[in-house]
Amino acid sequence: MSNLGVLYCAQRKFAAAESMLREAWEGSLKSLGPEHSDTLSVGHNLAEVYRLEGNFSAADTLLVQILDARRRLSGATGLETAYVMSTLAALRIQQERHAEAEALARDSLKVFTDKGPTVFRRFRAEALLGAALAAQQKYAEAEPLLLSGCNGMKARAAHSLEIARLTESHRWLVQLYENWGKPERAAEWRNQPRN
């Protein structure tokens, strides 16, 4: 059910995704308990659907709960903890809480850089940090992070949800160049293929 919910989310069928993931979440809570790794993964996926739907309050409540549990289970520097921090950073960007987004993205990127191989999630964290910095008008610091993040994600995007996250990062890069007064660079990235 969770995998089907993620598929619906990737297809932007948010109502179906939310319904499927909510049912999977409730079932996981009952059968596995609130701190089982699978339960936390389902909750994370449900929170991501809430975020993409624009239900920031529900996403925030659930992500903070999931992050607290991941920290208890995996520690502050666990890979799954870093993954939740990335999703919460994306939410904080949408909520225009950019300093919080920056801190979460920075911590997430450090974990992925120190512990993980160079994978899609690491490049996503780089792009998130760049987006948070750009929103604070720190354009020179943001640009290399967004460029590296977008290029790294593009080379590694394997499924539709990753492509959706790459598309979101492309929008942040275009927005950086527009706000920075570099319309030619904005146009270049606006017209670049996402996959």
Under the banding of pLDDT at 50, 70 and 90, the label for residue 156 is confident
pLDDT tens for each residue of 7-38 = 898 888 999 999 999 999 999 999 999 999 99
The predicted pLDDT at position 115 comes to 86
The predicted pLDDT at position 195 comes to 56
Residue 79 has pLDDT above 70, yes or no: yes
Residue 57 has pLDDT above 90, yes or no: yes
Give the 3-state DSSP-derived string for the chain, with helices as H, strands as E and coil as C: CHHHHHHHHHCCCHHHHHHHHHHHHHHHHHHCCCCCHHHHHHHHHHHHHHHHHCCHHHHHHHHHHHHHHHHHHHCCCCHHHHHHHHHHHHHHHHCCCHHHHHHHHHHHHHHHHHHCCCCHHHHHHHHHHHHHHHHCCCHHHHHHHHHHHHHHHHHHCCCHHHHHHHHHHHHHHHHHHHHCCCHHHHHHHHCCCCC
Into which CATH architecture does domain 1-74 fall?
Alpha Horseshoe (1.25)
What is the domain partition of the chain in residue ranges? 1-74, 100-195
The predicted pLDDT at position 162 comes to 85
Q: What is the pTM of this model?
A: 0.91
